[in-house]
Amino acid sequence: MFKPFSAHDEQQERARQDETGVMSGDAWRRWNMDDLSSKRPVHAQHANSDSADTSAEFIHNAELAALKEQARKEAWEQAYQEGLKAGHDEGFTKGYQDAQDAVAQEKEALIAETLTPVTALAKEFSDALNQMDTLIGESLVELALAVGTQLARTQLDMQPEQILNIARELLQSDPAFTDKPRLHVHPDDFALIHEHMREELQIAGWHLQADERMARGGCRLTSHKGERDASWETRSETVRKQLRTRHTAEDSE
């Protein structure tokens, strides 16, 4: 029968065990199973602690790897979007410039195609105007000459003594005619010149001769050395040539 130790017996047993290192038979006690609600053994607690630390480190490493992967993906996506935007902007700018150049070239070609016939028409119109100006100018010259001739003719009829000035100009400009030259005048002018210039003509040795072929207001001097034509027709034609020459010179300027 099992007899529990008293306090005195327990002290003696411990002293004996210390001396011999052997526990007596009376000192054995019955083993009882620990309570299941009690704490785990220390080595189990350490194992569980190590396992928890390993799991936490694995989770931490996994989370860190996931964060790194997420950061890498975000960086790649950002770089891709920036590259895509840069390429889009560059492509848009180049495309816009190419389109502008194409529009400008097409516009120039269209203007050239449109203006070519217009330019030719404008040139033809300008040439026609110049030709018309020339024709009008010549017509105006002819008209002026006709009017001037008529006015001069009227003036001579009203003042027939103007033939005296013409005859005197011939007499003063051609003193070399000394071989008895003849001054041909219209019969109506013969009496007027003979009355006013008879002595002058005699001194110069000129012979006054009526000539129905001469128009009134003009005269013609002839001799063996040549002649001088101061007829109305010749003087009118001289004035016409001078006016035409002047008109042509003004047009060329």
User: Per residue in 119-165, pLDDT tens?
Assistant: 666 666 566 556 655 655 666 666 666 666 666 666 666 777 888 88
Predicted local confidence at residue 2, as pLDDT:
46
Helices 232-252 and 42-158: crossing angle in degrees, nearest 10, is: 170
Over residues 201-212, mean pLDDT: 90
Predicted local confidence at residue 179, as pLDDT:
73
Q: Token digits for 27?
A: 């000192």
Phi–psi pair at 211, nearest 5 degrees: -140, 115
Amino acid at site 154: T
- Report which of 210, 212, 206, 230 is spatially closest to residue 220, judged by C-alpha positions: 230
Pairing outcome for strands 219-223 and 226-230: antiparallel
Residue with tokens 């008209």: 143
Identify the weakest region by mean pLDDT among 46-55, 103-112, 230-239.
46-55
Over residues 19-35, mean pLDDT: 51
- Which helix (H) or strand (E) segment holds residue 230: the answer is strand 226-230
DSSP one-letter string for 158-198 = H-TTHHHHHHHHHHHH-TT--S--EEEE-HHHHHHHHHHHH
**Are 193 and 167 spatial neighbours (Cβ–Cβ below 8 Å)?**
yes
**pLDDT at residue 170 is higher than 50:** yes
Predicted local confidence at residue 167, as pLDDT:
87
